[in-house]
Amino acid sequence: MKILVGIKRVIDFSVRVQVKKDGSGVNTDGVKLSINPFDEIALEEALRIRERGTQTEIVAVSIGPADCQQQLRTALAMGADRAILVETGEVLQPLMVARVFHELVKREDADLVILGKQAIDDDFNQTGQMLAALWDRPQATFASKVELKDKTLTVTREVDAGLEVIAVDLPAVITTDLRLNTPRFVKMPDIMKARNKPLQTLKLEELGIAAAPKLEAKHYASPPQRMGGKKVADVPALIAALKERGVL
């Protein structure tokens, strides 16, 4: 069984993102960049599938500039067997990323792709669904529990109404929700071992995929400052305060 796992490099979740003065984007100079948290969960789940005894090869995949190698090395230290960097300096949008994964799935003959439910930079929440459509295979999005038996995955999904349990046949796409697992910490000896694990670099053009962004970001701005809360003495004062703000 072969599992591809998406490893996107994003601004670390603990960083307060600053918009550039000219509104052309967000500042990444000197900013801590990490693996998208949902992708760490995706990798952890692949590792657990392997640890439960299924003979599995885990391939970490990142699409982006050469520096993404750092995050791929971390994925290798966590336990991925090998990594693929699809190098490009282009602006990445979900359809293009899904096309790249589709091409790799065919080349690698993958049985399962585990992606995050969303990347915390753009919050698109689209890549997994688009990949399933391109690949014409089942998808189990927002997974909070995954069980594999033979060639069938039983996936508990977090949906608006609560939890839903579905069964999907492999090959398939899973996207991870926060409660699926808690990713392991990387240990020093594993970081050393990861240096010798294979990391293949491909150019986007080698996959026959042309970057053709469908969206253009014209301007970035910080969200408006939040107004502080206000305590009121009783219900009439609450109604008066809401009327004052034009809510009622």
Distance of alpha carbon 133 from alpha carbon 102, whole angstroms: 10
Question: Closest CB to ligand AMP among 32 and 187?
Answer: 32
Distance of alpha carbon 91 from alpha carbon 101, whole angstroms: 16
> Does residue 62 interact with ligand AMP by CB under 6 A?
yes
For ligand AMP, which residue of 3, 34, 35, 36 counts as binding (CB under 6 A)?
Answer: 36
Residue of 131, 65, 69 whose CA lies nearest to 101: 131
Question: Closest CB to ligand AMP among 129 and 156?
Answer: 129
For ligand AMP, which residue of 118, 139, 141, 181 counts as binding (CB under 6 A)?
Answer: 118
For ligand AMP, which residue of 46, 115, 143, 168 counts as binding (CB under 6 A)?
Answer: 115
Q: Under DSSP, is residue 146 helix (H, G, I), strand (E, B) or coil?
A: strand
> Does residue 122 interact with ligand AMP by CB under 6 A?
yes
Please work out the total of residues on this chain that contact ligand AMP, with binding judged by CB under 6 A.
24
Residues written for the chain: 248
Token pair recorded at residue 135? 């690949």
> Does residue 139 interact with ligand AMP by CB under 6 A?
no
* Separation of CA 47 from chain center: 16
Closest residue by beta carbon to ligand AMP: 116
